[in-house]
Amino acid sequence: MTQADWIWKEPKEKLVDWLEQMWTVRWFDEKVDEFFAKGMIHGTTHLCVGQEASAVGVCAMLEGKDKITSTHRGHGHCIAKGADPDRMMAELFGRETGYCKGKGGSMHIADVEKGNLGANGIVGGGIPLAVGAALTSKMRQEGYITVCFFGDGAANEGSFHEAVNLAAIWDLPVIFVCENNQYGMSGPVKDMVKIENIADRASGYGIPGHVVDGNSLPEVMTVMKEAVEYTRNGHGPVLIEAKTYRWKGHSKSDAKKYRTREEEKEWKDKDPIRFFQDALIERGIITQEEAETVKKETKAQIERSVEFAEQSPEPSEDTLLEDVYA
């Protein structure tokens, strides 16, 4: 028995739902990658293929009232927090049925009703916003916690240190989740920080820090479950570092010349979806046929999202300045 074995006792419906969510994240970003390569979507995008377990595992432990702040690589966070892939795809297509009525694009998807306070194109930009949301929860006694997703590159921003310090001294209900995908743009994390783990910085702020295999859904959920209980009970922030890997480049224009194909293969062999799916089959929770059905149905859902986006109208010129200024 390992610490994460509790997950296999969860109802089959929940386990299959988590598998569906990871496949939905995977197919969404694979489809977006395809469209950018064809020049069908404008702007830029940052894909999270390979990082599905950290997004789904973290959000699976949250309640509906809880909040998240996301990043420029945030499609997985949005889907895991309950966003509608139709409206997400429409946003990337610049259509008025999108979350920001087609004006925000990939890096600005928000769904406040579901607790998603928004993705952010500024590296580290969501960290102080998460602390502000947590402060609101504490002052108003609203009982929700806020999860702040950020990457390894953002851990060297001043906003990270200032926000974590403030959250620590005020015991705010916020969980900082660093998705360490090994590279900040083209720079390997080992060349950017002197310490072995970004989570080791937690001790400098007097808060708990945990390192977890970000490609293992059960392990992410186990660490997150403990962090949620700790934070919700009024003990203050937690810093979690999920070590994972992005299969694609930093953005659509990245040729990935700074890393080897051998390294990429090594990480792809640790595919978080395959790991979880195989475990479900080995334990007799689902059959191989059921797994294939989940894979096919989630892919079909994304195709329907594309259809929805393509059929949605573009914003009219007279709405150009709407929703721009408060």
Beta-carbon-side half-sphere exposure of residue 94 (alpha carbons within 13 Å) = 10
Domains for the chain: give ranges and CATH numbers: 3-7+25-310 (3.40.50.970)
Look at residue 180 and give its three-state secondary structure: strand
**In terms of C-beta density within 10 A (0-12 exposed, 13-18 middle, 19 or more buried), how is residue 161 classed?**
middle
Average pLDDT on 67-96 reads 96
List, for residues 190-246, the tens digit of each pLDDT value: 989 999 999 999 999 999 999 999 999 999 999 999 999 999 999 999 999 999 999
Nearest to 177 by CA among 140, 141, 217, 210: 210
Interval 142-200: pLDDT, tens: 999 999 999 999 999 999 999 999 999 999 999 999 999 999 888 888 989 999 999 99
Average model confidence (pLDDT) across the chain: 94
CA–CA separation, 188 vs 184, rounded Å? 6
Exposure pattern of 24-47 as b/e (b: 16+ CB <10 Å)?
bbbbbbebbbebbeeeebeeebbb
pTM higher than 0.85, yes or no? yes
CB 257 within 8 A of CB 201: no
